[in-house]
Amino acid sequence: MPTIQTVTILPSLPKKLEPLLKIAKNLWWTWTPEAIYLFQDMDRELWDRCGHNPVALLGTIEQPRLEELERDEIFVARIKKVEEELDRYLTFHTWYGKLAKELDEELPGCVAYFSAEFGLHECLPLYSGGLGILAGDHMKSSSDLGLPLVGVGLLYKHGYFQQYLNPDGWQMETYPMNEFENMPLTLLRDENGDPILIKVPMADREVYVRIWSIQVGRVPIYMLDTDVSLNSLADRQITSYLYGGSIETRLQQEIVLGIGGIRALKALNKNPTVCHMNEGHSAFMAVERLRQFVEEQGLDFEVAMEVVRATNIFTTHTPVPAGIDRFPPDMIQRYFGHLCERLGISMDTFLGLGRINPQDQSETFCMAVLAIKMASQSNGVSKLHGEVSRKMWAGIWPQIPQHEVPITHITNGVHTLSWLSGEMSRLYERYLGSRWIDEPTNHQIWKRIDLIPDFELWRAKERLRERLISFARYRLKQQLKAKGAPAYKLKEADQVLDPEALTIGFARRFATYKRANLIFKDPERLTKILTNPDRPVQIIFSGKAHPKDRDGKSIIHQVVQMANRPELRNRIVFIENYDIEVARYLVQGADVWLNTPRRPMEASGTSGMKVTANGGINLSILDGWWCEAFDGTCGWAIGAGEEYDDHAYQDEVESRLLYELLENTVVPLFYERESHNIPHGWIQVMRNSIKKVCPFFNTNRMVEEYANQHYIPNMQNWKVLSKDNWAQAKELVSWKQKVRNHWHEVSIQDVQVPIDGSPKVGDRLPIKAIVNLGPFSTDEVRVEAYIGRLDATGGIPEGHPLPLLPTKEMDGNAHIYQGTLLCLSSGKIGFTIRCYPYRKGLPHKFELGLLTWWETGNHN
């Protein structure tokens, strides 16, 4: 085969049009309508053909058209205006800038956000679903808020699959190749113009990795790519497919993401002081940070662990153990045996970092466990998911009551501007003013929704529904053409769906627990609802099943078969190849967003949040985020949050509840029209939904919470720990060693609660605990009364702590702690006493997992 030299040819733009390339290379344009219109107006047909990729557009559009646009003074003036707006955006004072001034201290370094996928726009198909979309919205809001944050991900040659259905309605997959040079990406080069390469250890070899940059407003994302000629063919394919290949390929990808990510940041002189793991895929990042501290800073392993853990954050998105990456111990040993020697630890110690029980030799190596153990703070992505996560990972802290397991929650949100329609955006600007863009979390601003007249809100929603119907018809015709359908079928496609009918949207990953087919449980009853001549209803579906998920594919097949029934052909449509573009049309145009997961398996879900800003209303199981948002006025709940052991019975009950809601509540309210054919009752629910959901369930609020609860405290941790050659970190390790060696000497010797008769509500009961602290001072031990209702076994499943304070009295060698229990309600309660080691600066009180309880054997 001949040697082939490659060359990348850049678009040749007339001078007046050159700012277009600058705009195209910053994904700020994806949430800026004026910038999008610029590219659209250059050549609408070509814009669609290029997949809404402005770099491809500028490189493909014919020169005569460019010259024509250069002579168009209005177009040139629009370019200048958009460029000025971009420059203003990049320089105006931000939320974080103001916060840093208020803190009156210089916070060191930056935050590195690691994610296996980023969903930023349809022209960058580097995502599979909600995890990636959330990561993309996180980047956009981090830019809006001015956080010193960088993203780290993998650049996939083929990305996730593209979906099409065969004539029988069965999902098939294709894997088109991404042309990186024709996308809004930049290959990073050194001062000599050569690509910057890093080397990543991979078992018995090293793999070369290139670094690309995606600019998202102020925030860069560094994407790693192993398709380098210096690598073997197998290693070049490590970053070929998102979530593709064998379990070993997955391990290799996660090594590139984690270890390669830290090395890439170092090569770019972007050494982070705080690292955020978005799911466990990137947890090897912590291992590379350990190596750097041991080999480059000269710290021993335990001290390095303190520094790394104190400045790492982990967000879990998975509510079921089966969704977590796990690797066999022998595979981990093959890839990390050499690293253990360099860290000065045994392989058993290393494997223990990824095991719930480090002593269990048969337990696999779990990436989520590694992430939890290597982070100072871990969180779920909704209040309910926080509860599920505490239950899921309670085994890591066997002595801690489940509800006190140190996993919190920060509920997900969406980047509102990225999903908002032009119609609604213009309405908001007219009645809310422009402040809602800079202050999307301001509840007072969103209350001004009530100022929008009903007819204006309704007309905007009708236009969005009409646009969705037109898009669905267009896509359906394209699907039929691809299957070689006859002309009469194409003509029929122009008649499907009704622009005035109540339109339900259901679009998401077709995992079985999401139950896309729940609404088909009783086909006859559903048919009556959909085909009512006076009150018609229609459903638009879209979504992909994982290529190996046969059950998920079977549900798609069932949807398509229902849509092919003659009586339902105009009432049900399945749009193939779900992506950000399809999602945008659906969340903007749907009247109702249907969500039917099997509780509590939906960690959060965000598609329903996107619907709300566009005037859509949620109809959902009380799972994920909807548990927090639903208040009875802003949408509808299927059931009351029940959980079932019998899934067949659950499906039967919840499908009936869904039909009843549609028949008796949702459909009648939509068609209850008053003057000028306007459904005022329906519009009131729209308003309630917007006021309730928009100011809270957005990524600006979410990222502010991450900054306040995690990023800034961890930056401050770094600042403290790094002083005087890591003196405090070394001291902390010494103290923890003392605790581990001597904590068994701590005991609760006696508890005294003088009760005279039966206490009444409002009484105060004095509590005295006599505690032998062993070699510890009262500053190093916290003592609490643990109080709560008793369960059937006599235990306290969800008690609350009451701090007891040390007195100056002693009882022999023991210290006396005292407190007062306030009797707040009648009934039988239980209490006990517990103590745990304490030191200022620990991320949570159960940092060491040590908790000594009062036991009757110690009770004198």
Does the structure show a pLDDT above 90 at 384?
yes
Q: What is the pLDDT of residues 526-553, one digit of tens each?
A: 999 999 999 999 999 999 999 999 999 9
> Percent of the chain having pLDDT more than 90?
86
The answer to whether the CB of 685 falls within 8 A of the CB of 693 is no
pLDDT value of position 857: 59
Q: If we measure between CA atoms, which residue out of 442, 594, 601 comes closest to residue 529?
A: 594
Does the structure show a pLDDT above 80 at 6?
no
pLDDT value of position 95: 94
CA distances, 364 to each of 193, 357, 358 (Å)? 44, 10, 10
pLDDT value of position 312: 98
Q: Give the SS3 label for residue 81.
A: helix
Stretch (H or E) spanning 594: strand 592-595
> Percent of the chain having pLDDT more than 70?
98
pLDDT band at 583 (very low <50, low <70, confident <90, very high): very high
pLDDT value of position 321: 81
Q: How far apart are CA 374 and CA 274, in angstroms?
A: 12
Evaluate if pTM is beyond 0.85.
Answer: yes
The answer to whether the CB of 292 falls within 8 A of the CB of 305 is no
Q: What is the pLDDT of residues 445-457, one digit of tens each?
A: 999 999 999 999 9
pLDDT band at 843 (very low <50, low <70, confident <90, very high): confident
The answer to whether the CB of 630 falls within 8 A of the CB of 436 is no
Q: How far apart are CA 252 and CA 258, in angstroms?
A: 10
Stretch 717-737: mean pLDDT: 93
The answer to whether the CB of 733 falls within 8 A of the CB of 302 is yes
Does the structure show a pLDDT above 90 at 759?
no
Q: How far apart are CA 509 and CA 518, in angstroms?
A: 15
Does the structure show a pLDDT above 60 at 246?
yes
pLDDT band at 10 (very low <50, low <70, confident <90, very high): low
What phi, psi does 554 have (nearest 5°)? Answer: -65, -35
User: Which amino acid is located at 33 in the chain?
Assistant: P
What phi, psi does 317 have (nearest 5°)? Answer: -115, 5
Asked, as a colleague might, if the bond just before 600 is cis with ω within 30 of 0, I would say yes
Stretch 248-253: mean pLDDT: 98
The mean-pLDDT minimum among 49-63, 177-191, 297-311, 818-832 falls in 818-832
pLDDT band at 273 (very low <50, low <70, confident <90, very high): very high
Q: What is the pLDDT of residues 629-668, one digit of tens each?
A: 999 999 999 999 999 999 999 999 999 999 999 999 999 9
Does the structure show a pLDDT above 60 at 1?
no
pLDDT value of position 20: 97
Q: What's the Rg (C-alpha) of the chain?
A: 29
Does the structure show a pLDDT above 50 at 858?
no
Burial class (CB in 10 A: 0-12, 13-18, 19+), 138: buried
Mean of all residue pLDDT scores within the chain: 94
Q: How far apart are CA 492 and CA 828, in angstroms?
A: 69
What phi, psi does 288 have (nearest 5°)? Answer: -70, -35
The answer to whether the CB of 224 falls within 8 A of the CB of 261 is yes
Q: How far apart are CA 704 and CA 423, in angstroms?
A: 28
pLDDT value of position 422: 94
Q: Facing residues of 366 across strands?
A: 326
CA distances, 110 to each of 80, 159, 545 (Å)? 32, 28, 37
Q: How far apart are CA 178 and CA 158, in angstroms?
A: 6
Q: Facing residues of 173 across strands?
A: 163
Does the structure show a pLDDT above 90 at 107?
no
How many CA atoms are closer than 13 Å to the CA of 317, on its beta-carbon side? 19
Q: How far apart are CA 429 and CA 586, in angstroms?
A: 23
The answer to whether the CB of 275 falls within 8 A of the CB of 340 is no
Does the structure show a pLDDT above 70 at 2?
no
Stretch 47-53: mean pLDDT: 95
Stretch 808-814: mean pLDDT: 84
Stretch 449-469: mean pLDDT: 97
Does the structure show a pLDDT above 80 at 105?
no
Q: What is the pLDDT of residues 591-637, one digit of tens each?
A: 999 999 999 999 999 999 999 999 999 999 999 999 999 999 999 99
pLDDT value of position 11: 64
pLDDT value of position 757: 67
pLDDT value of position 108: 81
Does the structure show a pLDDT above 50 at 269?
yes
194 versus 797: the higher-pLDDT residue is: 194
Q: How far apart are CA 246 and CA 234, in angstroms?
A: 12
Stretch 94-111: mean pLDDT: 86
Q: At what angle do helices 301-310 and 284-296 cross, to 10 degrees?
A: 130
pLDDT band at 859 (very low <50, low <70, confident <90, very high): very low
